[in-house]
């Protein structure tokens, strides 16, 4: 099973679980029994997830977030009503309502009080499910779960892989395009990274202007060389859309990157505006490595410490000679190698 398939299945599971949890709260609050209704609510959650993932997709991305939310809720419920009508049309003789009433004609369904009570509950439940999943995607799964469980209230030491990527020639591009057009250029470029990010199971830690920082728990980053494949998969994805980018913005983005891994400190910072920050020697080193990659004019620099955790990397990647990078505030240097991919996994 690919990482992209796992992501889609996790998303369907999130919608199903959140929908069932909210429905259970409603049922218990109303004093009703937990019966086969739960199966119907689980199907509604799955149905909502399928619509979100396979029908809505990115169609609402151009709208403001409140309009995205309202549009998705309306469409989910309109399509749910359409399903009810279709179920009656295809098997009206077997059609059972939650109450004892059995409509003889389809028009009678819309005269039943049960329909409007049900749809009100469906609207509330699906609205909460869509809202929760959208907030989780906005914050990122790691940050959302961490805040929810209070994991990062105190600093936590973790073994993580860090990949930082910087747009080449960003200053000149910004001056040539102007602020608004350059923002669209950067945003379009980041959107093109999505498939590669999902395929390689990366977390986007943050965007810093034209720089983006990805992280993985160590065991996921080194699995199948995800941490190195991500950079080359992004390059490949951009190359596939080079003609479109060239036509719209007059240039094709190029990135330089640095990859390092080890012990980092994860902690929640701020009060009125909270964020999850990473600090420690790894972050200092990878930042310095990115500067060296620019000086050396190589696409990707990987630390020797990171390569030591990727014993099979030489089978698919060409490892360059070792270079020593002094790091400010660090007693010993970082040894780095340029890396090129010879073939995909």
Give the H/E segment covering residue 8.
helix 3-30
Q: DSSP assignment, residue 333?
A: P
Nearest to 305 by CA among 227, 248, 238: 227
Pick from 17-31, 51-65, 166-180 the range whose average pLDDT is largest: 166-180
pLDDT at residue 257, rounded to an integer? 97
Nearest to 57 by CA among 206, 253, 237, 191: 191
Helix (H) or strand (E) holding 43: helix 37-50
Question: Whole-angstrom Cα distance, residue 142 to residue 42?
Answer: 25
Predicted pLDDT at 109: 59
Which of 24-28, 97-101, 168-172, 260-264 is the most confident on average? 260-264
Q: How far apart are CA 188 and CA 62, in angstroms?
A: 12
Closest CA to 208 of 176, 170, 245: 170
- Share the mean pLDDT of the chain: 83
Cα torsion through 22, 7, 218, 293, rounded to 10: -130
Rounded CA-CA distance 295/299 in Å is: 11
pLDDT tens, 27-45?
A: 888 777 776 678 878 888 8
Distances from the Cα of 273 to the Cαs of 139, 205, 211, 238, 276, in angstroms?
13, 16, 21, 33, 10
Tell me what the mean pLDDT of segment 69-90 comes to.
73
Domain map (residue ranges) of the chain: 3-139, 141-341
Angle at 302 between CA 290 and CA 144, to 5 degrees: 75
Q: 158-180: per-residue pLDDT in tens?
A: 999 999 999 998 888 889 999 89
Query: Residue 318 CB: number of other CB atoms within 10 A?
Result: 12
Which pLDDT band holds residue 68 (cuts at 50, 70, 90)? confident
Query: Which pLDDT band, with edges at 50, 70 and 90, does 96 fall under?
Result: low
| Residues 330/280, Cβ–Cβ less than 8 Å | no
226-249 pLDDT tens trace: 999 999 999 999 999 999 999 999
- Asked if the model's pLDDT at residue 93 lies above 50, the reply is no
Flag whether pLDDT at 123 surpasses 90: no
Q: What's 314's DSSP letter? A: G
The confidence score (pLDDT) of residue 219 equals 94
Extract the runs of DSSP E, i.e. beta strands, from 270-325: 275-279, 300-303, 317-325
pLDDT at 99: 47
Tell me which of 106 and 192 has the higher pLDDT.
192
For 179, the token pair is 């602020």
In the chain, % of residues over pLDDT 70 = 83
Average pLDDT over residues 92-120: 59
Which of 39-43, 127-131, 311-315 has the highest average model confidence (pLDDT)?
Answer: 311-315
The Cα 68–Cα 53 span in angstroms is 14
In sequence order, the 6+-apart residues with CB closer than 8 A to the CB of 84 are 109, 115
Cβ(144)–Cβ(253) below 8 Å: no
Read off φ and ψ for residue 157, nearest 5 degrees: -85, 130
Task: Specify the pairing of strand 203-208 against strand 211-217.
Answer: antiparallel
| Statement: residue 98 has pLDDT above 50 | no
CA–CA gap between residue 309 and residue 315 (Å, rounded): 14
- How far is residue 155's CA from residue 152's CA, in Å, rounded to a whole number? 6
CATH number for the domain formed by residue range(s) 141-341: 3.30.70.1230
Measured distance CA(83)–CA(76) in Å, rounded: 11
Q: Where residue 182 falls among pLDDT bands split at 50, 70, 90?
A: very high
């Amino acid at each position: 099973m690919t990482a992209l398939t796992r992501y889609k299945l996790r998303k369907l599971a999130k919608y199903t679980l959140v929908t069932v949890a909210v429905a259970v709260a409603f049922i218990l609050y109303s004093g009703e029994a937990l019966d086969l209704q739960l199966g119907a609510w689980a199907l509604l959650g799955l149905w909502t997830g399928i619509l979100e993932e396979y029908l809505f997709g990115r169609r609402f991305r151009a709208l403001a977030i409140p309009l995205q939310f309202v549009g998705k809720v309306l469409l989910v419920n309109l399509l749910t009503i359409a399903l009810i009508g279709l179920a009656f049309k295809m098997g009206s003789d077997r059609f059972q309502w939650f109450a004892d009433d059995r409509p003889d004609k389809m028009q009678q369904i819309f005269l039943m009080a049960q329909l409007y009570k049900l749809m009100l509950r469906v609207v509330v439940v699906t609205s909460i499910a869509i809202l929760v999943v959208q907030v989780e995607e906005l914050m990122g799964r790691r940050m959302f779960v961490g805040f929810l469980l209070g994991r990062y209230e105190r600093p936590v030491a973790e073994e993580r892989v860090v990949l930082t990527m910087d747009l080449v020639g960003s200053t000149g591009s910004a001056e040539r395009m102007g602020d608004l057009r350059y923002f669209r250029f950067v945003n379009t470029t980041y959107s093109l990274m999505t498939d590669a990010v999902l395929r390689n199971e990366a977390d986007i830690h943050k965007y810093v202007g034209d720089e983006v920082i990805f992280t993985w728990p160590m065991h996921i980053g080194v699995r199948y060389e995800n941490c190195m494949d991500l950079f080359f998969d992004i390059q490949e994805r951009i190359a596939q859309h080079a003609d479109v980018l060239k036509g719209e913005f007059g240039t094709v983005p190029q990135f330089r990157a640095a990859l390092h891994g080890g012990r980092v400190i994860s902690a929640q910072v701020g009060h009125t505006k909270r964020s999850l920050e990473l600090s420690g020697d790894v972050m200092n080193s990878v930042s310095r490595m990115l500067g060296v990659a620019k000086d050396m004019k190589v696409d990707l620099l990987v630390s020797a410490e990171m390569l030591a955790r990727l014993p099979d990397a030489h089978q698919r990647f060409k490892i360059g000679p070792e270079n020593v990078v002094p790091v400010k505030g660090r007693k010993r240097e970082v040894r780095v190698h340029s890396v090129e991919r010879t073939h995909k996994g």
